[in-house]
Structures are given as structure tokens and as C-alpha cells.
Chain A
């Protein structure tokens, strides 16, 4: 699910702390220099791919779905680097009017939380399942988690009112909004998981070393970097 919350619809109490936390995490992940230049360039390429994938329109009957790829991104890069990528992607999208400037942090945190779950889930699943199925299930978990967080943010915004102080929402229709969003959330989980299955199938066949190792410890891509 795309999370392009625009400027001015959320109360400052929702976006300001999130922006501060996201900036702190972004700066921390930037200072924690654990990778080589190749990994940094790879991270840039995957960030660009995330943006490019958002431009892909997958027709689903009368609707068109746009990919987010947070599952594969989280699995391939790990939580810290995936968060850095998502922060940059959201900032670039905000410059194009896709999501607001003030909510870059919130958008990155919600998507980043999903991406952060993906790698540990993949590693746990890959002990028993083949890589494509593990990547698909890890993506479903990531997508589901960020969807729930997204709905939480929207619910809070609808209950708390807009950015005008004291402007509570007397006619909040949370049920209606949830009813509109829930099917899209489910479709998002299914579509992203199937696409992740394809990504996993291809990488497992062609470059399995790009996928993290199933056991706990250093992932294959990090191992490559260290080598």
C-alpha cells in the first residue's frame, strides 16, 4: 500500500515526533558506517528501483496497483539500510508532490517498520522453506505490519483532527475509511507477496549469494562485502 499522506491533514502531534525520530534514525544509520562503497551504491540502486517500481502499474480489474517492494528491500539490505533508503525515497517523492514534506518521517517510519521485520522473518523462514516462499511470506508480514501501522496513523488523525489546534473531528467516519482501505490492504499484501516470490525465485536461481543466509549471523551480501 502506498502511504502518500499529504501535508496538513495530520495533527502536528502525529508527524512532528515521527519526523524527529526518523531524522535521528536516519542520522544514526548514516553514521553507523558498516558497509563499503559498493554496498552504498547498491543501496542507491535499490532505492532507485523502489522508485521505479512505484511507477509500474499492475492492472487488477478496474484498479491499478503500484508496487512498494518494502519486503524485498528489507530482506536484501537489512533494517538500517532499508530505512535509510525509504527515507530518501519518501523525500524524493515529497518533492514530486507524492506525500508531504512534514510526513516524510512518518511515512518512512511506517514503511521502515515493515522493512525491518522482513529480514529476521526471512531468515527464520528460510530454515524450513525455499527462498521464494520465504521471501514471499516475509514480504506479506512486512506489508501487513506497515498496513496496520498506516491504519493506526490514519485512525489517530481522524480522531484527533487536522493540524489546526482544537479542531476535533465531530463526524469522524473511521469505520467507513477502514472499510475502503481494508480491501486495498489485502490486495497489497497478496500482490507484493507474489511479486516477492518472483524476485526470490529469480535471485535463488541466478545469484543466491545476494539473499541473506537462513541462519542467524552475517548475511551473504554482507559477507561478500567483507570479502
Chain B
């Protein structure tokens, strides 16, 4: 998952497709519509069309194929539990159960793989109370630093024999490793707040305003949005 997060984040900032140039707000609206319709779609035909749209979005964003596959197929393992639990001998229920989460996860990959995360958070943070919005940005800010640190700690633990011995000892040692990360997180937060204060932090992290800067590429997003709504209007009762 570490690699997945880092690579998606990198692709969102470094990509050059028209989806990358489109505004975050437009993509967010289309993604919400696609996921919402996929979840509520009453029939397989509409679901299949929405699924095809989600695939076309994910593939046209030129994200690495392995990345798309890893993120898109992750929900399948969990969905399998529901497929087993709700098996009725037919193919419609399992197919519906598989297509819905797949469509949603493909849409999510497209959205986060083409939109830098701060742009994605900025519109959401305007709707949230100050502390909650700031916590969102601060978690994201701390994430990649801690991911790297966790990876190094884990490697060091294994090299120094932390991966051998009985499970009880290994897990307690892993816990001590997590303890060092808790301590690091606490000390880091003190430094961060001091640094923000020195730089004249106004008391609220606002994020950037790129998310609402409309571009001509938004027409493509609007086209996909129109296609989604048209499919829903035509196929809602088609079964």
C-alpha cells in the first residue's frame, strides 16, 4: 500500500493528460455522480455502461496499468465474502456485487490519480469546521514522512533480528517500533506548529484555490458527466 499511495500521489502531480488539467471540482462532481449511480443502479445494463465509463476514465488517465489494477481490484477480495454469502445460484447477483465496487474504485483511482490531493481536499475543507479541515491537511502532510520512516524502521527491525523468534516476541517488538513512531509523531507535531507560527501561520490551513479554476479541459469532464446522466435516464428501468 505504501507504494500504491506514493505512486498515485506522484501521478496526480506529474501527469499531463487532459484529466490532469481539468479542475478538481468538476472531476469531484462527476466522480460523485458516477459512484452514486453505480451504487443505486437498479439494473445490470446501466451498471455495465457506468462500469465501461469508469474503465475508460481510468485507462485514459495514463496511470500505470499495474497501479490501476492494484487499486481497482482491491475491493474484490472483500466483495467475494458477499458473493459467497449471497450466492443464489444465478449470475446476476454476483455480477452486480462485483461491478458496483469495481466501478466505484476505478472512479476513485481516476479521481485521485489525476488530481493533487490538496486540490481535492480544498473544496471539502471549506465545508468542514476549522479543526476537522486542518486535521485533514495535517494527516496528509504527515503521511508520506511517516510512511518512509515506517518502512525504514521495519527494515531495521528485520535486519536486527526483530523478524525472528516466537510470534509473541516479534509482535511486542513491532509494538515498540510503533511506540517510537508515536513519540516521533508527537515531537514532530510540536516542531511543525512552532515552524508554522514562525512563518506567520494565520490560524487556518486553507489549501489552494486551484480546485475551482475552470479550464477548457473541463468540457471533457462535463461531457462524461452528461454521458453518465444520459445513460442513467435511458437505462434506469432497462433491467
- A residues at B contact (CB < 8 Å): 4-9, 12, 26-27, 29-31, 33, 35-49, 51-56, 58, 60, 67, 69, 72, 76, 84-85, 88-89, 91-92, 94-102, 154, 157-158, 161-165, 167, 169-174, 176-177, 180-181, 191, 194-203, 206-207, 210
Contact = CB atoms under 8 A, between A and B. Distances in A.
B210 to A, nearest CB: 18
Contacts of A91: 136
Given A6-B78, A8-B97, A102-B39, A197 B105 contact: no
Interface stretch (B19-27, B141-149, B223-231): B141-149
Nearest to B145: A48
Nearest to A177: B85
Given A9-B97, A96-B4, A96-B71, A195 B178 contact: yes
B195 to A, nearest CB: 10
Give chain B's interface residue range (CB within 8 Å of chain A).
35 or more
Contact of B182 (A191, A194, A210): A210
B174 A198 contact: yes
- Interface SS majority for chain B: helix
B66 interface: no
A41 B193 contact: yes
Given A9-B97, A100-B101, 10 more contacts: A6-B79, A6-B100, A7-B38, A8-B97, A26-B132, A48-B147, A56-B174, A67-B178, A101-B35, A199-B179
Contacts of A202: 175-176, 179-180, 183
Interface string B117-147: 1001000000011111111111111110111
B89 interface: yes
Given A9-B79, A45-B188, A48-B142, A177 B84 contact: yes
A40 B135 contact: yes
Contacts of A44: 134-135, 137-139, 141-142, 189
A199 B135 contact: no
Contact of B172 (A5, A69, A201): A201
A45 B142 contact: yes
Interface in B94-126: 96-97, 99-101, 103-105, 108-109, 111-112, 117, 120
Given A56-B174, A198-B174, A199-B178, A48 B185 contact: yes
Interface centre among A42, A162, A171, A203 (most CB of B within 10 A): A42
A90 to B, nearest CB: 11
B15 interface: no
A37 B126 CA distance: 19
A8 B38 contact: yes
A40 B86 contact: no
A165 B117 CA distance: 35
A147 B103 CA distance: 27
A38 B189 contact: yes
A24 to B, nearest CB: 12
B40 A37 contact: no
B36 to A, nearest CB: 8
A96 B143 CA distance: 14
A113 B20 CA distance: 38
B72 interface: yes
A77 to B, nearest CB: 11
A206 B179 contact: yes
B128 to A, nearest CB: 6
Nearest to B170: A58
Given A6-B75, A7-B39, A173 B85 contact: yes
B104 A7 contact: yes
B143 A48 contact: yes
Contact of B88 (A8, A164, A170): A170
B129 A174 contact: no
14 contacts: A6-B75, A40-B131, A45-B186, A45-B189, A52-B147, A55-B2, A84-B132, A102-B39, A154-B81, A158-B82, A181-B81, A195-B171, A198-B171, A199-B175
Contacts of B154: 56
A194 B176 CA distance: 10
B181 interface: yes
Contact of B86 (A35, A60, A171, A206): A171
